Amino acid sequence: MAERIVVLCSAFAGMLLFERFHLNNKRSKGERAAYILLLLVSFYLGMDYVMAKDWTDSYDLFDFVFGRAAKAIDDFLNVRN
């Protein structure tokens, strides 16, 4: 778990340092809001990685949205003997 924490902290530290020195004043409010939203999503997924929990992630979202259609396509394409 400590190894995962180091990986997560180093990734976020590098990202935030780059943002602080290079992109801080060069973005509009919409770009800044999108960046903060992506940062929050990546923080949530990073905590899921560190704690090794089975929280809701992007796979669950895609399964909820496309699951029935994908199952219907799969059933249509499967050849049964």
List CB contacts of 35: < 8 A, sequence separation 6 or more: 19, 27
- pLDDT of the residue at 32: 82
As a whole number, mean pLDDT of residues 43-63 equals 85
For the chain, the residue count is: 81
As a whole number, mean pLDDT of residues 9-14 equals 90
As a whole number, mean pLDDT of residues 16-31 equals 78
Query: What is the pTM (predicted TM-score) of this model?
Result: 0.64
Which runs of consecutive H residues, i.e. helices, occur in the chain?
2-18, 29-51, 58-77
What are the residue boundaries of the structural domains of the chain, listed by start? 2-77
